[in-house]
Amino acid sequence: MAIRSTNSLSLRIDGISIKIITFMFGQKYLSWKSVYYHYRKWCPCGFWHECWTKFLERYKSHLHLSSVDLDGSHTPAIRGGEQVEYQGRKKRKTTNALYLIDRQGLPLAMSGPVAGNHKDIFDIEVQFEIVTATLGEAQIPVEGLFPNADAGFDTKEFRRTCDKKKINANICQNKATAIRTGMITSTRNSTMRDLRLNVPMHGWIASVHCSTVSIQQ
């Protein structure tokens, strides 16, 4: 199988046509081996990460950052990998990662891969640093961000991490933790509803399970 290279490839965001490739490898046919070779070559050197942060920086005016959503997503890893373990709910081996999306459902950043037997909160200080560092590289300030997260993120470590970065985390209360610590609140200013964002995420994931919080005035 061969792939015909092209001189023009464009992507439309909010009705704006963005030419992202003007010339690629000349006027010739590319074999799948060539594509695979370059992909494997560019992955470990951080090429794709650099492309993503430059893309975010250039078009950050199209993002809706009045609120963002943070959640984990398990990806089946049938053929194995570096960070792969059995995940009971999925009944298969998976790799987990944290995803941060804007209010439109557009991806902003993701953490490093974590073995599927761990919860979303595992090594949260390190993984959330990777997420926020990606925004920093794209010249998107994290101070004042309003991330929504489900009760799985209701831990002292994550709240402390957000406080250090001056991030206003809106986290659903973990009732089990609250009962153990005696920190149950009698009133709540927010209600949680689970949504599935069935929108394309530009090559990251097809759908994300996340939680958004509706603030009651």
Q: Concatenated DSSP letters for 56-87?
A: HHHTGGG---SSEEEEEEEEE-TT--SS-EEE
- DSSP for 122-183, written as a single string: TTHHHHHHHHHHHHHHTT---TT--EEE-GGG-SHHHHHHHHHTT---EE---HHHHHHHT-
Q: CA-CA distance, 66 to 78, in Å (whole number)?
A: 38
**What is the value of pTM for the model shown?**
0.70
Q: Which of 20-29, 122-131, 134-143, 192-201 has the lowest mean pLDDT?
A: 192-201
pLDDT of residue 198: 38
Closest to 149 in 3D by CA, of 163, 121, 169: 169
User: What is the per-residue pLDDT for 28?
Assistant: 63
Backbone angles phi, psi at 134, to 5 degrees: -60, -40
Is the pLDDT confidence value at 122 over 60? yes
Task: Give the tens place of pLDDT for each residue, 174-191.
Answer: 887 666 656 555 434 443
Return the closest-CA partner of residue 106 out of 64, 168, 48: 64
Q: For the chain, how many residues are written? A: 217
Angle at 168 between CA 66 and CA 161, to 5 degrees: 130
Answer whether 145's CB lies under 8 Å from 68's CB.
yes
Can you give the residue ranges of every domain in the chain?
1-45, 63-215
CA dist., res. 97 & res. 95, Å (int): 7
* CATH level 2 (architecture), domain 63-215: 2-Layer Sandwich (3.30)
